[in-house]
Each structure stands twice: as C-alpha cells, then as structure tokens.
With several copies, the nearest count.
Chain A
Amino acid sequence: MPFIPHTPEEIEQMLATIGADDIETLFDEIPANIRCQSLDGIPPAASEMEIAREVQAMADRDAGALNFIGAGAYEHHIPAAVWQLTTRGEFYTAYTPYQAEASQGTLQLIYEYQTMMTGLTGMDVSNASLYDGASALGEAILMAVRVHRKSKSRKILVPASLHPNYRKAAETIVKHQGIELVELPIDPQTGRIDPTALEQYSGEDITALAIPQPNFYGVLEEADELTAWAEQNNTLVIGVVNPFALGLLKPPGEWGENGADVVCGDGQPLGAPLSSGGPYYGILCCKQAHVRQMPGRIVGRAVDADGKKGFVLTLQAREQHIRRSKATSNICTNQGLVVTASTIHMALLGPVGLRNAAALSMANTRKLVEKAAAIGIAPRFSGEYFHEVALQLGQPAAGVLERMAANNVLGGYDLGQVNPSMADSILVCATETKTDADIDRFIDTLQAAL
C-alpha cells in the first residue's frame, strides 16, 4: 500500500480499539446510494521506478531548446545551493508557521525576505508573498481601493504596456467589486505609456495608476514623471516591477516625490526556475501607512517570555482565518517554498551579484539587437529597454518562430498574440545566461527562418 504503513495486525488492533468490524464500517454515515464505485479512469499504481522513467521521457520530450522567450518569465542562473537547501525536509515539508516556537526557521527566513524585498523596492513593508505577479496586481488594486478611501471612482488606470495576462488576471480578480480598469494606450513610437493619453485624465478622480517597470515590451517607463502626475492628481501609484531589474533600476519607493504606494511584481526572476509558469510568487510591498490593508501573511519580530527575540506571524487581524468576510483578501496558502528559495537566492547573489547579472542581461540584449541590426532587423520601439526588446521582423512572426523552434531555438514571444497589429513582431530576451555563441546562434537561426 503506497505511503500507508499499516500492517494487517495493526489494522485489527486499531479496529478493535474503535470497536468496528472493518474499515468500511467507518464510512457508514455516508449515504449508501451515493457511494462511488471503482475508479476505472485511474491507471493502476506505478512504482517509483516506473513513474520515474515515464516522467523522464516526458521531460526529455520538451527539453533541449535554447530559449530567448521572456514575456514575464525569465531564465536566470540559480545557484545550486538554492534548491538544495530549499528542498531540505525541514523547509520543504513544513507548512504555514502557525506554531511560532516550532517554526523559527521559516519565520526568520520570511522576516529576512521581507527585509530584502523592502530594500529592493525601496518600500516600507513587504508581505510574505502572494500567488504570482498577475494576481498580485489584482490584490494591489483591491488594496489601493481600500486605502484610498477619498477616491470614489474606483477607476484604475492600467496601461496597455502592462503584461496582457496581468491585466486579464487583475480584471478577473477585481471586477466583482465595482472597480473599473481603464486602459491607457501606449505611444506606438516609444513603446511606453502615451503621456498625452494620461494627460486626459488630469483632474479626474482616479483611484490608482499602475506603472510597469520595465513594461511588457521591455521598455523603461518614465516612472518619475508618471508618479509626479499621480501625486498631482491625488492618485495612488501601483508599481509593477521585475525585481531582478531593481538591481539597476530606480526602486519604486523613490519614484516621483514620495514613491509608489503599493508595489507588486513576480518574484520568479529571483530564484524560481521557469518551470512551465509556476510556482513563482507574487511580491507585494507598500508604504507603512497602508500595512493594515495589506493582504497575505506578514512576519514580525517579537519577544518571548524570556525576553529573547524571535519571529511570529503578525497583524493577523487582516486575514481570513480571523476576519472571515471582512478580511483584506481570501488568501490563505501562499508561495512559501518559492519565497524560501528566493531568499536564499538573494543572499547568494548579494547586491553586487544582482547588479552585475542585471547589467549583463541588459548588455546581452543590446548585443543581440546590434547583431539583429546587421541582418536588417530593428527594434519596434524607440524607448530605452532593459533586458527585453520587441523586434520587428517584417513578416508574420508566428511562422518565423515556428521555423526557429524547428531548429531548437525558441526565438521569442509572438506579439501578434497580444495585438494583431504587432503580428510581425517578437519579444526577445537575452539574460545573463546567454553567451556570445548563443546570441550568434539566435541570429543565424533567425536569419535562416526569415
């Protein structure tokens, strides 16, 4: 019996103690007419050896390509130590640290995570994670609406330069609460938020403005100007950031005069493998004043009965298990293990490691753009970019990408999926993992596929 330790003798003894004839008796409160029959749709048990071989074959089937896709999930070097430590049983098989005294490992680690994340973002407070970047944007919007009580419009400006799936997920999450997401178009020239479009909302009651940095197209938004606009218009700022980029970029806590109010993003680039899209984790940070509207777990330092410092889950009165229908969110289980990995990852990178890796990613993408220019391919937008760039191919991107994939190069993300007007463009990212030879291979494969 896989994963069940009982021997026939023990079963007898236990049933005797209970006073039941057989195990089936224990289910006698379930109406007989709805009891289910054998689950013929489930295959027979595979031993570990058997399933290992099957899964290895499935993994092999998808493996082997050189990847230049980013679009919200980025390939980075993850130190070997990160997941070797993270998968230690004590981290891997613990749960939410409800019993603080028996969970100081996880609790201290989260406190360290919160410290690192506030440092990176320049914000006052971080929670212990949400599900992912997209759903974190949804929570950030809900939080902004709760925080900004003076604003009655519940209108949120969400630029078209934001990741399309972030916009969709946020819409899904907030739409039942009378919140309106208003799309802010991009300047087709620069690839960033169109400042004249934003100007139209000046003086209007806008609850919050979301600012992606870098934006979906890899372009750097004029975060200071946008934040200044928001500050003038009594609009909260929600920063949507790639934390990896913050090794080089001005942190949202320093945008404009007073910084962003709420910051969200996806923690994936800091220690989570691509892994088909998850588990990653959602970052959520805010100003001190907003902490009691923050969703999700938060760890605080506390003092014990001996006066010794330690760590506990705190401010739980925001959460569903205490406040139920009045909670700041329904979130319960979060992405703790990925946060564990990410914290170790950040400790191993350190400030210099993060900065240098970010700079190398940026430089690699520039190299790729230069080499693409040599074969007549140019960026679609003029705005400065970080480590990702839209290239205009002059022909349907879908076919080009398919031909590249046939040569085991995943050449980028087809922007036609987002907007038919961009069906001739791809989004390409060359992180620090790419060598000059990789970039040359990209160019050669692209050229052959054009």
Chain B
Amino acid sequence: MLIFEHATPGRRATAQAPATMADIDLPKRFARKSPTGLPEVSEMQAVRHYTRLSQKNFSIDTHFYPLGSCTMKYNPRACNSLAMLPGMLNRHPHAPLSHSQGFLQMMYELQEMLKEVTGMAGVSLTPMAGAQGEFAGIAMIRAYHDSRGDAERSEILVPDAAHGTNPATAIMCGYKVREIPTDEQGDVDLDALKAAVGPQTAGLMLTNPSTLGVFERNIMEIARIVHEAGGLLYYDGANLNAILGKVRPGDMGFDVIHMNLHKTFSTPHGGGGPGSGAVGVAERLMPYRPIPVVARDGDTYRWLTEDDLPDSMGRLSAFAGNAGVLIRAYIYMRMLGKAGMPRIAEFATLNANYLEKRLVEAGFDAAFPQRRASHEFIITLQKEAKELKVTAMDFAKRLLDFGFHAPTTYFPLLVPECLLIEPTESETKEEIDGFVAAMVAILEEARNEPDTVRSAPHTMPNRRFDEVSAARKPDLRWRPGE
C-alpha cells in the first residue's frame, strides 16, 4: 500500500506543524489554489508505513551485498551518530568563520589525509559524487590545456571497460570519446593506445584496478604514452579501496583523480546516495581546483573562493558539496588510522581472491583466471547460459532467495554473462563461504531444475518484473482516485 492509500482527508500529524495558519497577506496572483497532493496521515501511520517499507530492502546491515564496483562495506554507526550531533547538523553553510572553525578544521584535515593516501598535491572536497568528480577532473584538464593555448585537444580516451560515467563525463565537458580496447589479459591494449594518442588527445581516463577486477600492470607505460602525446591522465577512483596504502595514483603518474568517498571511506549511500567525489590534483592542476577549498592560515581555517583561485574550473554546488558525507568519511579515516589504510586493501583483496578461488574450484569460470583478483573479480556464466540456458541474471535473482544481494550483473559490458563480485574487507570468511555454498546450490539447481532458477526470486515481496512494459508505458506517479 502506498502512503497515499493510508491517507484520509483531514487527518494530520498534529504535533509536527503550527496549529493554525498564520495571518499573511499573499497577493492572489502568487497564491496556490490547487492541492499539493501530500498525503494526510497521522504520525504513527507515517512511522509504521516507512518502518515496514524499510524492511523490504536488502542492505549491508542485513545482508551480504557484494555489488561489484560499489564497495558495499560496513558503514560504522559512529560516523552516523557523530555527523548527526546537533552542532554538526545546525551549522549554516554561510556561518561566519567565527562559527566554523571546528568544521573547517575537520575538512582541512580530511583534505590532508586524502592527499596523503593518493599522493596528490591538492584536494577539493566539493564534488558531490564520483561522476561530478569526473566532471571536475575533465574540466580541469580542459582548463589546463586552454591556459596553455593548447586548444586543439578534442578527445578523451576511455578504455572499453570503463564505467559509463567516464564517456558521459567527457561528452559533458565538450570532448569526443575514443574507446581503447582491452587485451585478453584485461590490460589496456597498448598498441591500440599508441595508435590512438596524438595532438588531439586531451587525456585518458583510467580506473586502476580496472572494472575488470585486475590491476593495470602497464600503468607506467600508459602514463608515458599519454603524457608524451601531451595528454593528461585521469584516475577514476571508484576502486581505490583495492590499493589504499599499497600504491598511490599520484605515484602511478595520474594528474587528476576523483575518489568515491562513499565507497572507499564507507559513507552510507542509502538508496542511491549521497556520495562524495572529492578530487585530487597534481601540482600543475592546482590552480584549476573546483571551489571552495579549505585553507589554513596559522591557527585558523578559511575558505578559498573565486578570489583565491581565479582559474578554478568553477563551482559545482550552491555551497561546498556534501558536508555530511565528508564528516563521515573523516571519522572513518580517523578510526582506520595510518595502519588501517593498507589493511583495507589487503583484506578486500584477500576476500576477493579467496572467493574467486573457491568459485573457480566449484566449477565457475573466472573472466581472467590467469590474473590476481583485485578487491573484486568477474565470473562469467557464458557456459551456463549456453549449456543450461540459465543466465547471469537468473543466478543473480536466485541469490536473493538464498539471502544474498546479487553481485553487479552485465557490467563491464565487454564480458558476457558476467557477475562482478566485490565482497569487501568487512565480510567474514563464513559469510563468503555461505555465498559460495549458495552459488554451488544454484548451479546444482540450474542443472536439475533450471526453471526454479529462471523464475527466481521466489521469496521476495515481488517476483521478477516486466521491465519492458514498465518502460514502454511508464507509470511514474500515483494519481488520486486510483
């Protein structure tokens, strides 16, 4: 039942609003006449409705959630309670510096820690998700070339394994996109890269480890090729969890990076967000950082704005990005500490390699069996799809019945029938073993009673949906009287 179906005209959550409408003199031409359509429910009805709705979700707090490329790890509860202290929640973004030193200090220290873990010269926290960080990064690349009068560079190179945000971002920044193929080992095809670079090359966007779940071994060679062509190197930090404290983007030759703090630094992104796509830059891109940035003058902290960074690629939001997310990331990083950083990469990698090995031993095909897994890896169910007519999607849906959130399916696009599996460091061996057992059981079902798998899930609030009809005749809102 929708909240609107619980509503009755005239009902209210009385404690939540002024009892009567204040006297106001709003001229008729500005005034609302039509109803707002908000539901009329009691406070308890709202609480009960949304409590029950929530129970229909899988989440990290209830289920193993090995969604590849999304780093669904434990979100420490302390980050939540501290970020929600009244003093944190009530600070206005335009509060004067006299009432901002606590917050600014935290943001400054976060910038410094992020510089340290990435090896970059400067950081701006303002982008509000990975994709916005990409935008900021590519726009900085453009600003850099422009500042040198190097205006002919019109192309951004993107490996075919790249996340969809990479090419979409390049387009938003006014570039053309040229795809670079992947070789059989999962590395960027160097010959193709060499053939692609030229004076038109503005830069290359790379995720490392890539979305194929392997570390790009030729990274130094790639950096050389791109740099020699006059291009800059962009690092998509979605997979930073894999290498935290092990190798730094700055040391790999990247000029500009974004980080997905909501992944690597564990801020919850409930139901789709919010995230944070903080960016880091090498020295030569410092002038172009998105504003605002926090600076320290002796003992006090202040914002750097247009006046301080006149060549900035610009502002990306009304204020300074997703502050509440940044506070959570800060707290998480402080709880990890210096020794905790590399451990994240180590145990994320250990879990992924262990899980991959166990699945391979159980008869599944790894997409890159000859490679080490990074923090994630790909299983391809091509064989099962062909022989048993049971697809990756079928496995994914059946996993739900076994109490596991499905891995990422059908991404990256170049591996057919793939599951991109990222267990993260916070899962136990038992949980991973349980997942293997479920995969094995499903494979058994696929052989003996394939329809059970094909028609899964069977235990969820809904069975499989007809998405095609839904898209053809979109029903995007409830209408009164339904």
Contact = CB atoms under 8 A, between A and B. Distances in A.
A211 to B, nearest CB: 13
Interface string A325-361: 1110111111111111001101111111111110110
Contacts of B337: 2, 42-46
Contacts of B168: 320, 323-325, 327, 329-330
A45 B113 CA distance: 13
Contacts of B17: 47, 349-350, 352-354, 356-357
Contacts of B428: 5-6, 10
Contact of A302 (B32, B42, B266, B467): B467
A91 B217 CA distance: 38
Given A5-B11, A119-B37, A332-B164, A356 B22 contact: yes
Interface residues of B, number: 212
A180 interface: no
B343 interface: yes
Interface string B212-235: 001101011000000000000000
A75 interface: yes
Contacts of A108: 2, 53, 56
A337 B269 contact: yes
A273 B217 contact: no
A406 B96 CA distance: 10
B95 interface: yes
A95 B43 contact: no
Nearest to A404: B96
A261 to B, nearest CB: 17
B169 interface: yes
B90 A92 contact: no
A96 to B, nearest CB: 4
A275 B91 contact: yes
Nearest to A15: B350
Contacts of A10: 8, 428-429
Contact of A56 (B85, B94, B164, B219): B85
Given A317-B471, A320-B131, A2 B336 contact: yes
Nearest to B22: A363
Contacts of B101: 61-62
Contacts of A298: 474, 476
Contacts of B269: 95-96, 333, 336-337
A62 B128 contact: no
A134 B323 CA distance: 15
Contacts, number: 761
Interface string A296-320: 0111111111101010101111011
Contacts of B411: 321
A71 interface: yes
Interface string A243-260: 000111111001000000
Nearest to A38: B338
A28 B168 CA distance: 33
Nearest to B41: A347
Given A97-B271, A116-B38, A277 B426 contact: no
Nearest to A327: B168
A447 interface: no
Of residues A1, A166, A276, A339, which shows the largest number of chain B Cβ atoms within 10 Å of its Cβ?
A276
Contacts of A35: 246-247
B57 interface: yes
Interface stretch (B72-80, B189-197, B278-286): B72-80
A410 B95 contact: yes
Contact of B463 (A220, A304, A331): A304
A347 B3 contact: yes
Q: Which of B70, B106, B322 has the most CB of A within 10 A?
A: B322
A169 B291 CA distance: 10
Given A4-B347, A353-B12, A304 B462 contact: yes
B251 interface: yes
Interface in B316-347: 316-325, 327, 331, 333-347
A419 interface: no
A108 B349 CA distance: 35
Nearest to B305: A417
A374 interface: no
B460 A101 contact: yes
B59 A94 contact: yes
B41 A250 contact: no
A135 interface: yes
B92 interface: yes
Nearest to B274: A279
A151 interface: no
B54 A7 contact: no
Nearest to B479: A115
B76 A48 contact: yes
Contacts of A199: none
Contact of A114 (B55, B314, B476): B476
B10 A104 contact: no
A319 to B, nearest CB: 7
A100 interface: yes
Given A297-B272, A410-B96, A72 B50 contact: no
A333 B85 contact: no
B58 A92 contact: no
Contact of B467 (A224, A312, A327, A336): A312
Contacts of A103: 56-58
Contacts of A36: 119, 245-248, 251
A277 B318 contact: yes
Given A48-B16, A362-B24, A84 B338 contact: no
Contact of B318 (A7, A132, A316): A132
A122 B58 CA distance: 33
A131 to B, nearest CB: 4
A245 B182 CA distance: 52
A333 B272 contact: yes
Interface string B240-260: 000101111001100000001
Contacts of B203: none
Contact of B94 (A18, A98, A413): A413
A9 interface: yes
Contacts of A84: 77, 80-81
Interface stretch (A171-179, A182-190, A200-208, A231-239): A171-179
A71 B95 CA distance: 11
Interface string B106-118: 1000001101110
Given A47-B19, A316-B471, A406-B98, A277 B214 contact: no
Contacts of B165: 320, 330, 332
Contacts of A26: 346, 349-350, 353, 372-373
Contact of B89 (A42, A52, A274, A299): A274
Contact of B475 (A177, A300, A321, A329): A300
Interface string B1-40: 0111000111111111111111110110111111111111
Contacts of B347: 1, 4, 6, 23
A228 B16 CA distance: 38
B130 interface: yes
B247 A100 contact: no
A120 interface: yes
A289 interface: no
23 contacts: A3-B42, A45-B337, A59-B88, A63-B91, A90-B55, A95-B67, A105-B57, A131-B317, A131-B322, A134-B316, A172-B290, A224-B29, A248-B26, A250-B33, A276-B92, A320-B168, A325-B167, A330-B169, A333-B130, A334-B273, A337-B273, A349-B38, A350-B41
List of 7 A-B pairs having minimum Cβ-Cβ separation, nearest first:
A119-B37, A89-B61, A277-B319, A45-B337, A59-B87, A172-B314, A336-B272
Given A3-B76, A36-B251, A166-B318, 20 more contacts: A13-B429, A55-B82, A72-B93, A73-B93, A73-B319, A91-B270, A101-B464, A109-B271, A112-B2, A115-B2, A116-B38, A173-B172, A277-B323, A278-B321, A280-B318, A300-B471, A300-B475, A321-B164, A347-B38, A356-B20
